[in-house]
Structure 1
Amino acid sequence: MVKRNLKIYFRDKASVFFSMLSVIIIFALYILFIGDSVNSGLKFLPHPNRLMRAWMLASASITTSLGAYGVMISDRENKAIKDFYSSPVSRRQVAGGYIVTGFIISIIMSIFTLIFGEIYLGLAGGAVLDIETLLKLFAVIVLSSFASSAIASFIISFLKTNSSYSAASTIVGTLIGFLVGAYIPIGSLPDNVQWLVKYFPCAHSAVLYRQLLMKPAIKANFANQPASVLKEIKEMFGIVFVYDGHTAPAWVSVAVLLVTGVVFYLLAVLVMTWKQNEI
């Protein structure tokens, strides 16, 4: 199932492109609009562009999961899924095949985004990450893909047609972009929206990405700045989350993503397995 689904997905060039569309939009928004407006408030730093480019890459790296489930929707719409259910394969295995496919595609597309972003940062004069940081980033990619693709699989499990899938992808993709602070720095949002972001599971992926990707830029920009300024910037750009005056350590974000992945994958498997209209 996984091998078959991967072949179908990567054979459809349009599907791959639209999976990367949110990433392309974030890069375009930064280059055309966000970069200059935010950089204008960071002119006191020696290298504000490095800081913002790393922030942009961290935001773009977590928006690729929803497009990985188009194969399942197509199988539902053309009734191919009934053929699987009539074969000597359990429903749980069929559901698991779609879910594992989504997880793998999410990892692949996230790695591609990271490579593309690193090339962009290198050409733009940013710091190229060392091997240790890249290995940590790969671990974050796997963890982030685990959680985000779990949520995506749960959402997709309720959809039957490509039209509903396209609509959901557009709406959810845009909403997630705002809720992880991909389009606007979290500190620029109203207080009640900031709290919503901090309790949104995928936003914790963004925190882990930013802490790793922005580390060289922070070192280059804040070596001679007061600690209070660095603290304010970290909160503004979602590099850390603060709850009631306490800064959440990285392990909190890791725990949130692990729990989110387990819960939503179990829910997705249950929905895909037990839906009566697919008997």
Structure 2
Amino acid sequence: MIQFALRSLKIFFRDKSAVFFSLLAVFIIIGLYVLFLGDMVSVGEMSSDETRFLMDSWIMGGLLAVTSMTTTMGAFGIMVDDQHKKLIKDFNSSPIKRSEIVGGYLLSTFSIGIIITLIALILGQGYIVFAGGEILNLSQLARVCGVLILSVLASSSMVALLVSFFKSNNAFSAASTVIGTLIGFLTGIYVPIGVLPASVQTAIKLFPISHAAALFRQIYTEVSVIKAFEGAPAQVINDFNIELGIVFKAGEKIMEPIHHILVLVATTVVFFGISVYRFNIKKD
């Protein structure tokens, strides 16, 4: 399984275009934020360096959640390509167990997701510092890495189930395009969650990766929200956090971090189990 995973890793990182397009969402979101979104969400009574630091932190937190999904989509392209070229039949006829083949694909996808998302983390931190903000401290960085692992696991499991229904590159590419377009809305990057209709907010909260985005944002904005809202009433800060999707409300209660973690863990277990079952019964 390890050797099979290493094969997929070599194929992915040997293809420079695959690596570039895995990071394309990062560049697009940062570009849109710099050109349009930053001004849109920063207008109002607050207009200071602290506010800019807050919004930079907010967007970069959401960016990590998006990257964890888009990179795993790109990584699973190797499996779809193998199926399209009928290579999977050669693998299945070899002494390698089918479970090891599936495990190799999943392990390589998880590894690729971790590596690319870490690159996005570094790029995001570089942008925040360049814009005059502060870098995450060691405690925050450790928690971000923990959430990053959960986010990539959940994303990998979800995408694995989706991929199990595709055999052609064209169908997979179309699905990747649709998901890549929607993911920015589902994580509240392009439009703040609080300004959307209640039904849309509910749909977003049902999307597991949006919970990863909330966790990332809570960690990223720990310092910046205090600086930006210094002296402001607690209710003002609470309303801001809800509108920007930094925290989620379930009914009248604010969801705690453990609730978001449980959503991601449950998503990983359920989707991973169904995906493995699908691959085991799938006829190539």
Superposition TM-score tier, normalisation by shorter sequence: over 0.9
Does 2:26 match 1:23? yes
In the alignment, the residues of structure 2 paired with residue 219 and residue 108 of structure 1 have an alpha-carbon distance, to the nearest angstrom, of: 31
User: 2:62 is matched with which residue?
Assistant: 59
Q: 1-side partners of 2:101 and 2:184: how far apart?
A: 30
1:43-68 Cα offsets, whole Å, 9 max, x none, are 26662111111111011112233111
State the alpha-carbon separation in 2 of the partners of residues 182 and 10 from structure 1: 28
Q: Relative to structure 2, which stretch is displaced further, 35-44 or 129-138?
A: 35-44
Contact kept? 1:102, 1:149, Cα under 8 Å? yes
CA contact (8 A) 2:66 2:187 kept: no
Which 4+ stretches in 1 moved above 6 angstroms?
A: none
**Residue pair 1:42, 1:48 contacting (<8 A) in 2 also:** no
CA contact (8 A) 2:49 2:132 kept: no
> Alpha-carbon deviations, 1:213-234, whole Å to 9, x = none?
1111112112211101100100
Q: Deviations over 1:10-67 (max 9, x none)?
A: 0011111111122221111111111111111352666211111111101111223311
Equivalenced residue count is 277
Task: Establish whether residue 247 from structure 1 lines up as the match of residue 250 from structure 2.
Answer: no
Task: Give the CA RMSD over aligned residues.
Answer: 1.2
- For structure 2, the residue ranges without an aligned partner over 5 or more in a row are none
Report the counterpart of residue 229 of structure 2 in structure 1: 222
1:143-196 per-residue CA deviation (whole Å, 9 max, x = no partner) reads 111101111111111111221111111101212221111221111211110111
Change (3 A) 1:106 1:275: same
Q: With the length of structure 1 as denominator, give the TM-score of the two structures.
A: 0.96
TM-aligned CA distance change 1:95 to 1:42, over 3 Å: farther
Q: Which moved more, 1:217-226 or 1:136-145?
A: 217-226
Q: Which residue of 2 aligns with 1:258?
A: 265
Q: How does 1:98-177 map to 2 (within 5 A)?
A: 98-177=105-184
Alpha-carbon contact 2:113-2:152 (below 8 Å) kept: yes
Structure-2 change in CA distance of 1:42 and 1:152 (3 Å): farther
